[in-house]
Every structure is written in structure tokens, then in C-alpha cells.
Structure 1
């Protein structure tokens, strides 16, 4: 399934479309058979689940309740690392999957965990992820698991919170113990930091007890959700060292069985789902940024310093990723797709 091609990737365009579709009397009711889909996700209702929650409500609204999408939280249907396995055996019809939970299952999608990719804002996220999901290597990744991408949950760029002296320049990261996974962790190692791995639920205590000097999370909602500002002394406001990718995926077999009008409805609602994430993460920034700035020292980097970060801790990791994967799939083509979509948006 192809994502809708956005002629204009902007908050205004998405907001207008969402508003038009939501107004009573303007959106035609979609007739069709009764369909019941199960959606698998770990944890509880939060910003990450705002998209499927909105989709479930709108599907029911547009079909008079005939297309039901029921969300099962807290690993009721599957563990987070096994959602693709559930897709393969048709255990459920939709799920959120994260590339970092199973790198070997979706190797091409791991490009989104490389550091310092050109994803500077939400519009760029839509452009980059939309182009990436259409790349044959990513399509093949998901098809092996009987899955197709719907859209992304658009995880924000990561930032750091930490204790001790704020790292104002590259050399200041040398020797710091940082909790950072994926490409962000590799990037920090290039700067001389000591990479640590720990569950998200342990980072508060790690900072509090001096076990870690800095931790990375999607900014700002995850930092605020785990209340790290209570034990941190500083945060980076514009480092943007990288992100990850957690797409909403659909069971390919189930999607193919849908009547065409339901397939069309899913596509029509896709920009609304994207815009829900724009709003959810925006509200988190509105809530948490003033709190962070009141309590902590904000570390910002000028353009020259960020370019130096990318040169030292980004580009070498890009090249290594391509070299490690080029014989498995078109790794250079995947990376080029991301870079082109990011620079052109």
C-alpha cells in the first residue's frame, strides 16, 4: 500500500484536511460490511498511541461502526519485539513496530536510527518517512512478515538530559557516561562518550544516583513523561543527534481482503493520523519546554558546531552502515532516499 502523496506537507494543509473530514455533513458515510480488526501495542495510552486511537474513532465514525479497530494495550496480544511475528501468522491486523526492537527483522528500516539525518521538523519527518516506506528494500522487509506500512508514529528527534557540567562543545562529551541506543549511541562513542544501555524505567534512578551522566529520549514528551527534569541539571535543545522509527503497520492479508471503499477510507484518513502526531508532540513541547527552561540549563549549538558533530559522529557511521549492508540490500539507495527527501523538504 502506498502512502498518500502530500502535494503540500504543511501543518496548514493537514489541519484543513482534518477539519473538513471531521465536520458533520461534509464527509460522506462509507457503506460496507462489518469488519473487526485487532491492533497490538505495548504499554498504555500515550502520545505514541494517539494515531491509532484517532484512526479507530474515525473508522467507526465514517462507517457507522461497521469498521471496528480495537486497540489492545499492554502486550495483551503480543510482546513489543514480537508484533511482526504476530503479523506473519495473522494473529492480529495492525500494530506499532519499532525498528530498534528487532534490527534483523527490518534491516533497511534501521537507516532511521543513523545519527544526524536531515530531519529538522515534522514536515521533514513526513517527507522522509513517506519516501522511505516506498523504497523496495523497506517494502520487502515488511512483506517478509506479511505486513505493510501505513504511516509513522513520527518519533521526535532525541535530545539529552544530564547532570554535571553542561557539554558546550564536542570535547565536553569525552568520558561522559551516556544512555543512548542505536546510531545515537554510536555517534556519542565517536565523541569519546561511554555508551550505556538500560531500560527507560531505570534512567531516572541512573541520573539521580550518578550511574549515568546523560540520557537520550525523544524530545520533549519522553523526558517529561519520565520526569527527568527533577534530577537533571541541563538539557540539549537543538543537538538533534538522531531518532528511531516506529511505524504503524497493517497485516497484508487482512488489508487485501478489505473492500475497496475501506482501503480508500484508510488512505483518506492517513493525513489526519499524521496531524494527530504533530499536535500530540506539539502539546508536549508547549507543556514541558517552559518547565525545562525554568529548572535547567539549556545547551544549544551553533550551526558550525552541529556541522562538526555531523562530520565527526554522523558521516562515518553512515558510511559504515552502507558498507555493512550493501550486499544484503540496496543500502546506499535507502540512505540516498532519506537524504534526498530530507534535503528537499
Structure 2
């Protein structure tokens, strides 16, 4: 082989090696880019930077899968990473639903992140997700949900009787316990449900009221009802994760804390602007009386928690241990230990 031929062969070999080293992942989320997805976007940015563009992520907003089918897509390897919410399919991610129990007492995003990380690291969570070929990568910490509604504000528990509310998971169960009628339409369908009168109220975190437009239909917003929140993991396909090179896996793992730090900072800015958003859109800020919240908690928190623990234990899942882990982690987060 002459020198030119050798050089050409070497160039081709190097080209193939470069192609082999490149990793491209598809990531399935939904809606549009918003505070809820900023850690996914930041993760993609960080991983690409750390690998010199060799490991890239294509974040798709609804183009790869419906939001209720993201875990199924991960299980069959239709894409490598996805975000989903536990309340969309409680039977598939039972362990994580401990974080959706009403009135846990979580006060801020940092505490929500702490309890989520503790549950995600529990062997029961790892084992259950492995059944879907999924690895829990990071959470999407959200503040406590609150209601927007139309008509006269509902600030007494008796006014929740018959109220049609878009609420999923433990929050839906909590409203049901006080006589409301929850429906679990997806976040993308919530605005239409509210506009058409299918629901009277919608329970969301602040970013979702903005992103999905429910705030534009609202006459009022409950500022302090705080019945709970939804837990929404970001997972990766186990086969895809394990097939990463050591360098690319290290880039991914090391970027998770940075992405979450960015998420918390970004979401914090949104919360600071929230009162201005309400004023701009002419939405009344409703403060629920402490005795009403206490009554709500009595009717919803203990019975739903006890039923959840019993149900999990009957299925061979350590429900009491998981609940105790959440409470212990929350106490530590509040005390700063």
C-alpha cells in the first residue's frame, strides 16, 4: 500500500472511531420549554460541553411519545431519556408515589429535592424502575400545588363539595376526601377542560398555571392551601446508560447536581415574580384560613397515608419504611442537619 493509500485508510479509520465515540440521545418530555424542563435542557448543555460535543441530547416536546407513555417508551428503548409524573400511572411507579401523599409538610423546593433524592436512592425504587428498564436520574422538584378557579373563590371546605378539580395522585385523593370530584386530564388538556367548563378548578404548581394557560381563565388562586405536589422523575434507559463510555457516563452523572442547582435558581426567580403575574392578569389571591387547612388535613392526610402504607405493604413494598424515610429526611432538611 502506498503512502497516500495508507493515509487515506488511516483517515477513514479515524473517522469511524470518531463516529463510534459520538453518542446521541433522544429525550422525551411534553408541553413546551418551561421551568419544569429547565434541568433537562441544562443537563443536555452541560453534557455536550463536557464531552466536546461528542455526547448530545435531542429534547423533544411531545414528538416522541405522549406524556403518559414515556415510561413505556423507556422500557422498550424507543428513546434514551424521559420525564414523567408518578400520578399518570401510579401502578407502574408505586414506590415514588409516597412523595405524592397529601400534606407531607414540605415547605420549599430544596426540601422537595431532599426527600425525592432519598426515595430515589432506596433499593425498592431502584428495583421497581428496573422492571421498566429505567434508572432514576433526577427529580423535577415542584412547589406545593394550589388551585386556580372560576367564579366565586372557594375558601371554605364545604365549598369543595362537588367541585370538579383537575388533580392527580395524592392531591386528587385529598380533594376527593372532602367531597370534590377529581379528574386526571393531562396537564396539556387542563386549559381546555377549564375553558369548556369540564372542571371548575385546576391544581398545578405556578409554572404550569403559566405554561398551560390556566391562569388566563382564572378568577382566583389559593395562595396557601398547599395540599401536596406531584413527583416527576427523569429516567434513563438502563441499557443506554450502561452502554455509555466511562467518560460519557461520568459527564452525565456529574452534570445532574449542576442541572438541579440551575433548576432551583430558575424556579426561584419565577416564584418571586408570581404576585406580579397575578396582578397583571387580574387574578384574586385567596388566603385560606388556618382552621380550614387544619380541617382539610384531618380529613385527607392521615386516612390517605394509612391506606397507602397498607396497600404498599400488601404488595410487598415497604410502605412504612418509605414514609418514615420521607419524614426523617424532611426533619433533617428543616433542621439543616
**TM bracket (short chain):** 0.7 to 0.9
* C-alpha distance in 1 between matches for 2:106 and 2:59: 29
Quote the residue 1:261 is aligned against: 247
* C-alpha distance in 1 between matches for 2:198 and 2:59: 37
**Deviation digits for residues 300-332 of structure 1, max 9, x if unmatched?**
245554343222211110111111221211111
Q: Given the superposition, is the C-alpha separation of residues 257 and 205 from structure 1 closer, same or farther in structure 2, using an over 3 Å criterion?
A: closer
Q: 2:45 aligned with 1:47, yes or no?
A: no
> How far off is 1:91 after superposition?
2.9
Q: 2:217 aligned with 1:231, yes or no?
A: yes
Stretch deviating more after TM superposition (78-87 or 240-249): 78-87
* C-alpha distance in 1 between matches for 2:192 and 2:256: 39
* C-alpha distance in 1 between matches for 2:30 and 2:152: 36
Quote the residue 2:296 is aligned against: 309
Quote the residue 1:65 is aligned against: 53
1:270 equivalent among 256, 263, 282: 256
Q: Given the superposition, is the C-alpha separation of residues 164 and 133 from structure 1 closer, same or farther in structure 2, using an over 3 Å criterion?
A: same
Structure with bigger gyration radius: 2
Task: Supply the RMSD in Å over aligned alpha carbons.
Answer: 2.3
Quote the residue 2:328 is aligned against: 340
> How far off is 1:268 after superposition?
2.1
CA contact (8 A) 2:31 2:188 kept: no
CA contact (8 A) 1:237 1:298 kept: yes
**Deviation digits for residues 204-232 of structure 1, max 9, x if unmatched?**
455455543322112x1111223333332
> How far off is 1:202 after superposition?
4.8
Q: Given the superposition, is the C-alpha separation of residues 176 and 90 from structure 1 closer, same or farther in structure 2, using an over 3 Å criterion?
A: closer
Secondary structure of 1:95 counterpart = strand
1:120-135 alignment to 2 at 5 Å? 120-135=107-122
**Deviation digits for residues 160-198 of structure 1, max 9, x if unmatched?**
011233233333323333222221121112222233444
2:227 equivalent among 234, 241, 248: 241
CA contact (8 A) 1:224 1:288 kept: no
Quote the residue 1:108 is aligned against: 95
Stretch deviating more after TM superposition (222-231 or 101-110): 222-231
* C-alpha distance in 1 between matches for 2:28 and 2:194: 32
Stretch deviating more after TM superposition (162-171 or 265-274): 162-171
1:133-282 alignment to 2 at 5 Å? 133-208=120-195, 210-218=197-205, 220-282=206-268
Q: How many residues align?
A: 312
Q: 2:275 aligned with 1:289, yes or no?
A: yes
Q: 2:67 aligned with 1:119, yes or no?
A: no
* C-alpha distance in 2 between matches for 1:62 and 1:202: 38
Q: Given the superposition, is the C-alpha separation of residues 230 and 279 from structure 1 closer, same or farther in structure 2, using an over 3 Å criterion?
A: same
Quote the residue 2:84 is aligned against: 97
Q: Given the superposition, is the C-alpha separation of residues 203 and 277 from structure 1 closer, same or farther in structure 2, using an over 3 Å criterion?
A: same
User: What TM-score do the two structures reach when normalised by structure 2?
Assistant: 0.84
Secondary structure of 1:326 counterpart = helix
Secondary structure of 2:247 counterpart = helix
> How far off is 1:151 after superposition?
0.7
* C-alpha distance in 2 between matches for 1:121 and 1:275: 14
By percentage of residues, which structure has more helix? 2
CA contact (8 A) 2:219 2:283 kept: yes
* C-alpha distance in 2 between matches for 1:137 and 1:173: 36
Secondary structure of 2:231 counterpart = coil
